Amino acid sequence: MASLQRVFGKNSAYWLIGPAAVWLAIFFLFPMLSLLTTSLSDPAGSPIYGYDLTWRLQNYFEAISDYWPYMVRSLIYAGIATLLCLVLGYVLAYAIAFKAGRWKNVMLVLVIAPFFTSFLVRTLSWKLILADNGWLVESLQWLHILGEDGRLLATPFAVVMGLTYNFLPFMILPLYTSLEKIDPRLNEAAADLYSSPWQRFTKVIWPLSIPGVVGGTLLTFIPASGDYINSDLLGNPNTQMVGNKIQTLFTDASDYPHAAALSVILMVLIVGMVLFYVRRAGTEDLL
């Protein structure tokens, strides 16, 4: 890249980084400020004519007291889904990294490939699988796991399952990246020293895969906590998450200030969690 250095002088790095920096500053950082000012504005305005900034902190108190159940529900659903993703994702990532042999690349492509079918279409197909008269519900009823009129669709189970399904690849890829880096000889050495498979997992593999676990849980939890597609398509009015509320406040109610306040609260919670989590796990080089 020294040639570019000659063309642009010694500041060539700034010419290269410039477009990305400017774009993100204008369309990511600046909007965040805009969100913040909107959240402190008078709700009496309208989307077309704008809102007056009156430093109305009350928006936040109102948002919390009116919508806290949605917030709590989002965190719980996203938390359970992340945990399920961790278990399922770890199994698959481990199998690809250590057991797949020459099928490694094929299996990796297969992990990403479902993405190419629109995720809305895929989520809708769960509606069919979990339907009340579908084979899954009927066989579960036959096995008495579900009651006579028990159902799966439009329950919290369906929402959590949908979240797990949709964000699983985001868990698998970082897990695979960190598992793949582990030298298999470490595992062999532990076996030579008479450790059981379980000990080898807890003392060798798991500690070395922590960066992947941290990366994967963040990449799963963050989008899951803001999602409203799954709860809208697979849930019922009592499974609505904070994303549903923000969305309807913006588009249907045109109550931008309260919606913005709710967005800011979600963002603050997530940033706080990310910082806490990354610091505890000791992988500050994640950034």
Question: Is residue 60 a contact point for other proteins (CB under 8 A)?
Answer: no
CB 208 within 8 A of CB 182: yes
CA nearest to 152, candidates 250, 236, 50, 274: 236
Question: Is residue 16 a contact point for other proteins (CB under 8 A)?
Answer: yes
Minimum distance between the CB of residue 18 and other proteins, rounded to whole angstroms?
8
Q: What's the gap between Cα 124 and its chain centre?
A: 19
Helix (H) or strand (E) holding 160: helix 156-180
First to last CA, the chain: 24
**C-beta neighbour count of 23 within 10 angstroms:** 10
Q: Which region among 56-64, 118-126, 144-152, 202-210 touches other proteins (by CB under 8 A)? A: 118-126
How many residues of this chain interact with other proteins, rule: CB under 8 A?
A: 98
Question: Is residue 88 a contact point for other proteins (CB under 8 A)?
Answer: yes
Select from 6, 144, 185, 280 the one that contacts other proteins (CB under 8 A): 6
Q: How far apart are CA 214 and CA 180, in angstroms?
A: 16
Q: Which region among 9-17, 59-67, 143-151, 204-212 touches other proteins (by CB under 8 A)? A: 9-17
Minimum distance between the CB of residue 86 and other proteins, rounded to whole angstroms?
12
Q: What interhelical angle do 256-281 and 210-226 show, nearest 10? A: 170
Nearer to other proteins, 239 or 263 (CB): 263
Contacts to other proteins from residues 248-287, by CB under 8 A: 250-251, 256, 259-260, 263-264, 266-267, 270-271, 274, 286-287
CA nearest to 184, candidates 86, 94, 108: 94
Q: How far apart are CA 33 and CA 48, in angstroms?
A: 19
Contacts to other proteins from residues 68-87, by CB under 8 A: none
Q: Which amino acid is at 38?
A: T
Minimum distance between the CB of residue 118 and other proteins, rounded to whole angstroms?
5
Residues contacting 275, CB < 8 A, separation 6+: none
Question: Is residue 246 a contact point for other proteins (CB under 8 A)?
Answer: yes
Q: Which two tokens stand for residue 122?
A: 């895929």
Minimum distance between the CB of residue 250 and other proteins, rounded to whole angstroms?
6
Contacts to other proteins from residues 141-180, by CB under 8 A: 165, 168-169
Give the angle 276-277-278 at the CA atoms, nearest 5°: 95
CA torsion, points 278, 31, 262, 247, in degrees to nearest 10? -110
Site map (CB under 8 A) of other proteins, residues 173-192, x = contact: --------------------
Question: Is residue 212 a contact point for other proteins (CB under 8 A)?
Answer: no
CA nearest to 31, candidates 260, 251, 272, 270: 260
Select from 9, 31, 272, 282 the one that contacts other proteins (CB under 8 A): 31
Select from 105, 139, 202, 238 the one that contacts other proteins (CB under 8 A): 105
Nearer to other proteins, 23 or 61 (CB): 23
Nearer to other proteins, 78 or 144 (CB): 78
Minimum distance between the CB of residue 210 and other proteins, rounded to whole angstroms?
18
Question: Is residue 196 a contact point for other proteins (CB under 8 A)?
Answer: yes
Q: Which amino acid is at 39?
A: S
Q: Which region among 21-29, 54-62, 63-71, 143-151 touches other proteins (by CB under 8 A)? A: 21-29
